[in-house]
Structure 1
Amino acid sequence: MRRLPILLLALLAVAPAEARKPRDVDSKDPNKMICRTEEVIGSRLASKRTCMTAQQWEDMRREQRTTVDRIQAFKPQQGS
């Protein structure tokens, strides 16, 4: 009988992690269309829906990561 509360607590601890997983992560098909709704900056009410294939989303993510890495690695020249 004491195992039931422990089991319930363990399930409650795991449930939020499972709920946060993006739905399109398990997608193996690069041609699957994925739509995402993004908030418009500067507006509390407006939103923008963007649809691309899984491959296009991955390419965009990779390009953004490369840009961030390049900017963070930039070291200005010190001199006269």
Structure 2
Amino acid sequence: MESGFLLTWIGALLIIAGVLYGAAQALWRGQLSDAKPGGRTGAKASLEPRQSPKAFSFKTHWPAFALVLIGSILILTETAF
């Protein structure tokens, strides 16, 4: 009975770690804008990126997806038995 709870907790921690890792990779990928600290104003001084980012591609975030998948498998196998 205790090993089941341990697997559930490990699975939950792996899922949380995967989500946090994926979010951190998306946030720290690069600058959000190319505005310079010199006080440039106008339409180009926006924090919006010019192109749509490929923030959650499998190629760049496979470790995060793997952590979530392994955590989900651990939780589902525990609840199945």
TM-score, normalising length from structure 1?
Answer: 0.31
Name the larger-Rg structure. Answer: 1
Q: Which has the higher contact order (CA 8 A, sep 6+)?
A: 2
TM-score (norm 2): 0.31
In proportion to residue count, which structure has more helix? 2
